[in-house]
Amino acid sequence: MSRLDALQTFAAVVRARNFSTAAESLGVTPSAVSKQISALEERLGVRLLNRTTRSVSPTEAGQMFYQHCQHILESISEAEKLVTDFDDTPRGRLRITAMSNFGRRELGRMLTDFSDQYPDISFDLHISDRPLDIVKEGYDFALRIGSLDDSRLVAKPIAEQRIVICAAPAYLQRWGTPASLDEILNHRILLVSSAEYARVTWLKQFEKDHSFSLNQIERKLSVNDVDLVYEACLAGMGITGLPTYIADQHLQSGELVRLFPDVDIPVRTIKVVFPQNRYLANKSRAFLDFISDYFTNQP
């Protein structure tokens, strides 16, 4: 076993906190991983990992060693990227994670256009609203809404998320059309409860300026999925706030009716987030430039 193999194995175990998971990511058996770690500890003369029946965790010495391993492996990866990109042709595979609803509706079309321009680049696309450590999990880019508190990352604005309040004609025929926000108390409201990019409840900003509070509102449906709220709204279950990239086509077709068009709802910024590396591979630079221009030029 080479020293580089040992570093890669040790780093994989620390990230996974489990021998079996690390072994799967490396394409070897758990027993092989265990033997490599034992040999590494014997060679260094120090215990690097605390082992239990369910998981492993680095010792104080192990944590210090892991940080240095990460720097070494990142430097090797950077050197490989330099060689790979030597001919200046963007190629390779990009790993991207994106918010579920935005990803489903926007990225298929965008990646198709990108692939027409850069046919040698392919993608692993992960759709999830779960917050991910993109550095730890090896993603090149993430598409997010919200604050960025990780100093290891850079965020570049690419688009805006605008919210419209709407309901289906069938709902309005049955329950009436509210003429003002004060009449919201008499209606059925559909809310997204937990998705990070959608959970800024569109009603909260009206609380201070109107006589109702959120506690008084009948939440006919509260769910952690924007698509379910969207489908329930289309079916006539209640009133909700939807991003324009979901609602626009239905507003144009008449399947949804926009309510309170004069109400100013704050716009949120959609960002492309990526690790703050010293070197950005050609494939990553091509994607970053393309996605920045793409949504700027969209209607």
The encoded tokens of residue 225 equal 């999925």
Rounded to whole angstroms, how far apart are CA atoms 92 and 281?
A: 10
Closest listed residue to residue 102, CA positions, set 56, 43, 161 = 161
- Mean pLDDT, the chain, rounded, equals 84
Q: Give me the pLDDT at residue 174, please.
A: 94
Q: Give me the pLDDT at residue 224, please.
A: 76
Q: What is the pLDDT of residues 197-212, one digit of tens each?
A: 454 456 665 665 566 6
The pairing of beta strand 141-145 with beta strand 268-275: antiparallel
Residue 293 CB neighbours (<10 A): 11
Question: Strand locations in 229-297, DSSP E?
Answer: 240-243, 257-259, 268-275
Query: Please, where are the H alpha helices in the chain?
Result: 3-16, 19-26, 30-44, 60-84, 100-102, 108-117, 169-175, 204-207, 226-234, 244-253, 282-296
What confidence category does residue 222 fall into, taking pLDDT thresholds of 50, 70 and 90?
A: confident
Taking only Cα atoms into account, the Rg of the chain, rounded to an integer number of angstroms, comes to: 25
Q: Give me the pLDDT at residue 232, please.
A: 94
Q: Give me the pLDDT at residue 84, please.
A: 63
Rounded to whole angstroms, how far apart are CA atoms 86 and 208?
A: 58
Lowest mean pLDDT among 65-74, 106-115, 158-167, 278-287: 278-287
The pairing of beta strand 92-98 with beta strand 121-127: parallel
Q: Give me the pLDDT at residue 121, please.
A: 93
Query: Rounded to 5 degrees, what are φ and ψ at 160?
Result: -120, 140
Q: What is the pLDDT of residues 86-106, one digit of tens each?
A: 567 788 889 999 988 788 888
Q: Give me the pLDDT at residue 177, please.
A: 93
149 contacts 271 by C-beta, under 8 angstroms: no
Q: What is the pLDDT of residues 157-171, one digit of tens each?
A: 988 888 899 999 999
- The size of the chain, in residues, is 299
The encoded tokens of residue 215 equal 């506690």
Q: What is the pLDDT of residues 30-62, one digit of tens each?
A: 899 989 999 999 988 999 999 887 788 999 999
Is the pLDDT at 2 greater than 70? The verdict is: yes
Is the pLDDT at 299 greater than 60? The verdict is: no
Instruction: Walk me through the domains of the chain, giving residue ranges and CATH numbers.
Output: 3-84 (1.10.10.10), 92-157+269-296 (3.40.190.10), 163-266 (3.40.190.10)
Rounded to whole angstroms, how far apart are CA atoms 255 and 172?
A: 12
Q: Give me the pLDDT at residue 197, please.
A: 47
The winner for highest mean pLDDT among 81-85, 210-214, 246-250 is 246-250
Return the percentage of the chain with pLDDT > 70, whole number: 87
137 versus 46: the higher-pLDDT residue is: 46
Closest listed residue to residue 212, CA positions, set 223, 201, 204, 220 = 204
